[in-house]
Amino acid sequence: MPKALKAESFEARARAKAAPGSHAPGPEDEGHGPRPLIIDSGRNPLAAGMRELWSHRELLFFLAWRDVKVRYKQTALGAAWAILQPFMTMVVFSLLFGRLAKVPSDGVPYPVFAYAGLLPWTFFSNTAGTGGNSLVNNASLITKVYFPRMVIPGAVVLAGLADFGLAALILFGMIAWYGLNPGLALLMLPALIVLLTVLAAAVAMWFAALNVHYRDVRHALPFILQLLLYLTPIIYPVSFVPARWRWVLRLNPLSGIIQGFRSALLGRPFDWDGLGISAALTAAILAYALWSFRRMEQGFADVI
């Protein structure tokens, strides 16, 4: 082929590359790497966050498994700590409140009554406490590579479910020991676990995002959880509270969930109104937590 034709065909290909809709390489492109990734919450941050979380589900499960292994690494008792924490707390509560203070337990043996409330509470408090510090504790990972930041507190929630399952074995053993029969009410247990998990994940995400910008959260979180323990019917039944003040307990979504756990595990009547209020509050907290997390996520790498 003559040189003139070669030059003409080369120029034609160059013009085609520079046509609208294409990008011809120029001097300004030399020495430049890939375009920077811009984190944008978009018009619907809730849907965008859930899509990103699902697309990175393998990373979510990997980090959850890592949290489980690191938690009990080089410990003499290992996973037994997941059982000892609620069990020993139940023993102390049974002695102090069940025997000495004579706190009623709605006709159920107090150890079972207390453990049925401590089981979901321990999962919630551990998840909220650990999840609230999860982003700050993984600062080196956040500043090096991008992935949906919701994966980190989400992994804490999944790891907490493993402890929840181990601790639940003791409760079922206690139910059999005392000869209790939950009956068909036990079928509600999976739905209650899902509701509790959603609430724990929402609170963990919200505190984790706040903790990045305001490190006071690290110090305030244990105090908040300690107060919430006494504002939740764990060591006492709802009937122990005067009727005119019971509406205050319903403002706490954990109240209806823990009452639901006791009803499902001990075969007691369900408080459907309280459970419905807890479900509505959990949905509202989740929506706000996701929106708030996505809004603050854009600046995590800059301030963490």
- Write out the two tokens for 226: 């300690």
Radius of gyration for the alpha carbons in the chain, expressed in angstroms and rounded: 26
Instruction: Return left, alpha or beta for 297; rule: phi > 0 is left, psi -120 to 50 is alpha, else beta.
Output: alpha
Give the per-residue pLDDT at 47: 65
Q: Are 269 and 247 in contact (CB under 8 A)?
A: no
Residues with pLDDT less than 50, the chain: 1-31, 37, 41
Give the per-residue pLDDT at 232: 93
Cα–Cα distances in angstroms (integers) from residue 37 to residues 69, 78, 177, in the given order: 32, 41, 58
Signed CA dihedral, 265, 268, 274, 279: sign only: positive
pTM for this prediction = 0.80
Give the per-residue pLDDT at 49: 62
Give the per-residue pLDDT at 15: 45
Cα separation, 75 vs 239, whole angstroms: 41
Give the per-residue pLDDT at 55: 77
